[in-house]
Amino acid sequence: MCTTPSSRLLLRLIIDVVILIALCCFALIALPKILPTTRRGFFCSDASLHYPYTASLLSRVHITITVIALPAAVMLVVEMLWAAVRATRKSTSPTATTAGKCSGVQRFAFIGINIPTFVSECYKIVGVYFFGLALVLIAQSATKHFVGRLRPHFFDVCQPQLLETLGGGLACDRSASAAQNVTTGYIEDYECYELAASAELLSMARQSFPSGFTATVCYAMCFVIFYLQARLSASAFLMLKTLLQFGCLALATMVAIERFYTHYNHWTDIMAGAFLGFSVAAFATICVAGLFKGIPIKSRKPREDFTRIYGYYGANRVAKYY
């Protein structure tokens, strides 16, 4: 058995965990308190804001399971499967040398414990995934507060009333005096009815763009789709890979439809969230993790009647022989 001791592994692990926790706390806790939500006005004739408020079919628990538990489980199972297949190939290869066999069972020594290679590789890809997820959370949270777009059920939740300086009363009351001339123009001076809804719901009614649920779920599902495309490249896994990818795509589509069906987001909010999730997933898998990147290392001298040129490919730097 070959071991690869790493005195810096513990330090790297601590730094990675601290960075991920800091990014998540910044996106979920600090950023909403630092950035005030932009206050936007409205037109009473805007039909896109007159939809009734309905309870969402999805909760934060559902989204947490979808973007954390499900991708992590898929990546862990795939890494274990790929490690088993790779070990089988190396053990049955007639050209396997002593060094090759040694690398096939290579382990990392961490605090006196031998850790299988697939565990460290799984940690790398999962770490990249959570790093990209934190970027999505930061981007969508900052955009929501900066844009401050009103949700389709804004009127039903807010029940806006004019300020006392404008005569008070409902902002969009069609029976109001025409002399005030406030129902036909752009209304900015208003307040939500204090008993209409909770403070959290009133705050969320101003944060429609982009769709946060769509952005995070699209990121998670696109990341898994790209990951499966890179890792399950063997023809034996074609049906399994296609089935899993289709399931991920269907799940992301269902979440987007739910946000539109329950009047929580405009269709443009959903498209923006899907684009954000897809873009960050492509950046994380291609640029950060390098799942589709082949790195040639070196070539050996001719041995007998053939030349073996080998390199590494994929996130796990798996040796590929020619």
∠ CA 242-227-234, nearest 5°, is 55
Per residue in 261-314, pLDDT (tens digit) is 999 999 999 999 999 999 999 999 999 888 887 544 444 555 555 445 455 555
Higher pLDDT, 161 or 49: 49
Q: Are 103 and 116 in contact (CB under 8 A)?
A: no
Higher pLDDT, 261 or 95: 261
**So what's the pLDDT on residue 311?**
54
Tell me which range, 15-19, 119-123, 234-238, 269-273, is most confidently predicted by mean pLDDT: 269-273
Phi, psi of 298 (to 5 degrees): -165, 175
Per-residue pLDDT at 31 exceeds 90: no
pLDDT exceeding 70 applies to what percent of the chain? 73
Rounded Cα distance between 224 and 20, Å, is 19
Residue 186: inside a domain:
no
Q: Are 223 and 284 in contact (CB under 8 A)?
A: yes
Rounded Cα distance between 290 and 2, Å, is 26
Rounded Cα distance between 153 and 207, Å, is 12
Please state the separation of Cα 298 from the chain's center in Å.
36
What are the tokens at 312?
Answer: 């590494």
Rounded Cα distance between 191 and 185, Å, is 16
What is the reported pTM? 0.81
Per-residue pLDDT at 241 exceeds 60: yes
**So what's the pLDDT on residue 154?**
93
Q: Cis (ω within 30 of 0) for the bond into 210?
A: yes
- H-type alpha helices, the chain: 9-25, 31-34, 60-64, 70-92, 98-104, 117-147, 154-158, 199-204, 212-231, 238-261, 267-282
pLDDT level of residue 218 (50, 70, 90 thresholds): very high
Residue 180: inside a domain:
no
**So what's the pLDDT on residue 163?**
74
What are the tokens at 201?
Answer: 């719901």
Q: Is 249 exposed, middle or buried (0-12, 13-18, 19+ CB in 10 A)?
A: middle
What are the tokens at 90?
Answer: 């190396």
Higher pLDDT, 95 or 155: 155
In the chain, the number of structural domains is: 1
pLDDT exceeding 90 applies to what percent of the chain? 39
Higher pLDDT, 319 or 81: 81
Residue 133: inside a domain:
yes
Q: How far is CA 234 from CA 85, 86, 237, 238, 239, in A?
A: 10, 11, 6, 7, 10
**So what's the pLDDT on residue 225?**
96
Per residue in 177-203, pLDDT (tens digit) is 444 444 568 888 888 887 767 888 988
What are the tokens at 268?
Answer: 């443009």
Fill in the DSSP letter of residue 262.
Answer: T
Per residue in 4-17, pLDDT (tens digit) is 445 566 777 788 88
What are the tokens at 63?
Answer: 């989204």
Residue 191: inside a domain:
no
Q: Which range marks the domain in which residue 206 is found?
A: 3-159+196-321
Residue 181: inside a domain:
no
| Minimum mean pLDDT range among 20-34, 148-162, 236-250 | 20-34
- Single-letter residue type at 99: A
